[in-house]
Structure formats: structure tokens, C-alpha cells
Structure 1
Amino acid sequence: MPYPVAHVLFFLFCVGAVAIYALAGPFFRRELSFKDARKLLLLVFVGSLSTLLPDIMAVYNIFVNGNLDHCSIGSIMTHSLLFGFSAVLFGTFAGYAAYRESSKAASMAIFAGSAFLTHLLLDDIAEGGCAYLYPLYNGRISLFSIMDTGFAEAGGLLNYLAVSIVSVFCVFIVIMMALFALNKFGFEFGYGAEK
């Protein structure tokens, strides 16, 4: 299990690179205000808390049981897409409390969901799988298990390519979710044809 700081940094650097790029121009033109800083801090807070949410039981267990068990609350697996709805609900609540607009609350929910998913992906890479599909399937599934093997071990070239595409596509989807949500909060990117 990567340490909590690794989860936060992974999320901030994957998604934060986009935010830094979007903020660089206005920062150097001195167009950023205190309101913009509050908006950015809210995004960092929601994203950081959401990316740590799957490990919430580690805090309880370290004080009560003296261990770092963290993968379940009772019988509910915290490293699953089902538990990811708690991050989505948190993002919705935080977005609505801050903006009082349902569209921004929905964007904050997507942002929180993408943060939660970065945690699952990082644990998948480090530990070789997560219980993504709990309660439908309780076993661990790894999106990245075949990527570091050869063609023969993966069952041939086509199987290796299919698994690799799925693995990279999952990371792509998580980053695109965050970009979609950030667009609603002013992090816009555009293409201007060269003249």
C-alpha cells in the first residue's frame, strides 16, 4: 500500500499538472484573485480527501486495533467502485455548499470521483489488484498485471495489446474525468489556429 502522501501527490501531479498549466498565464499576467485562490484550495481539499477516502479505516484501526488494516468497513470493501460513491456524494455536497449550483456540484462530484479512482489505480499498480467490482465479484482484479510481462506469459500478442490498451484507457478516463470537471471551474483549454 502506498502511503497517503503518495496517493495525494499522485492525484495532485496527474491532475495538478493541468491546473498549473491553466493557471500559469493568468498568474504571470497578475489576473488571479483571492476568490480564485479559494476555488483552487477547495478543489485541492476535495481531491485530496477523496483520494484518501479508501484508506479511511486505517485511521480508525491504527488507534483502536494498532494495525493498518484499511480495505473494508465491516463487510464493505473500501477499495471498490461501490465505495467510490461516497467520494461522489462528498464532492456533490462540497460543491453544492460552496457554489449553490447543481451543475457545479455535479462537476465537483466528478472531480471527487476521479480523485477516488486515482487511489484505486495506484493501489492496483502497487499491490496487484483491487476489489473493483465488490459486491458483484469479491476477488481482486488488476488492470495492470500483464503490462510488465512478455507476450508469451500474456497469452500472445493480441491479448497483451488488449490488456495494455484497457489499462492505459482506464488511466486516460480518470484524467479526462478530472479535466471535464475542471473545465466547469474555469480551467479552460482551447485551440487557436495558427495565423
Structure 2
Amino acid sequence: MNRVKKRRINPVRRAFAACLGNERTQFIAIPLFSILLSLLAASIVFLALGKNPLIAFQSLLQGSGILPKLSYAAKKSQLTDFVSMLNALTPMVFAALAVAVAFKTGLFNIGVSGQMLVAGFIASITVGYSDLPMAAALPLAIVVGIVCGALYGALIGWLKHRFNINEVVTSIMLNYIVQYVISYFI
């Protein structure tokens, strides 16, 4: 007679599955768990380096303008730090969105850096050589940048479709070409 063995489920695993079982709780729990896990991993690295993780995280939040610093220079404030952080963060957010669009279609876009270089270079040339007022030049730069970045990505997609060339290899090779061509002109 065959007996079916009852599996004992680990209580931690059961609690974790119960917490993440609902779609509504997954929406909140998975990002929070990811953040906590990354903070734990960073804390381990800081401790291995002999640094206090709490002071490191405090410095990170102060440098980003989220927490106030103890003292500010004459023209620098917490708002200035926050705006500087947003200024540096915006291109990275748009690059992440570009990668997300490619992932949604099942492709791997490693050519984002090349797309950003082409878009920024062509947009700056377009606006730099035009006599448009600032109110018209900024939207033009954005539109030209989007179109040039999309055309660069479309070139990689066309090479994949037409010649069945791996998009990762094509992206990496074209990134180097774009980088050197733009550095020649700069």
C-alpha cells in the first residue's frame, strides 16, 4: 500500500506565502521586502568596511536633500540639494523607462546609454544652432531627443529583424561607435 507522505511546510514560508498570496498585498509587500533586503545587503557591506550603516544612510539622505544637513553654505539649502538630486535622477528614470518598454516586448535593451548619447548630442546641436527663444527651444530639444533616441533603437531593432543579429551584441558595438564619434566632435 502506497502511503502519501504529508509535507510539512516551513512556518516562515507559510507566513510569507500568506502575506504575499493576495494580489493587493503583493503590490505593497514585494517592493517593501526588496527595499529592506537591499538595506540589509548595504548594511552588511558597510559593516564589512568598518563603517556605521546608520551614519552612511543618514549621509545619503542628507546629500539627496530628503533630510536637512547640520549646516548649509550661504546660497545652498535643503531644496537646492533636492533639486540637484532630481536633476541627476531624471535621465536615469527615463533610461529605466526605456529599458522597461523593451523588456515588455521581450527584448533586452542594453543600448540605452547610446540612445541617450545620440539624443543629447543631436538635440544640443539642433538647439545650439537655432535662434529660437527658450520657450520654443526646450520643447524642440525634447522632441528631437526622443526622435533620435527612438531612431537609434529602431536601427538596432531593424538589424535584429532583417539580419537576425543579436540585439545585445549590436547595442554594445553601436554604443562604442556612438561614444567615439561623439567624443570626436566634442
Quick check: which one's helix share is greater? 2
TM-score (norm 2): 0.31
Larger Rg: 2
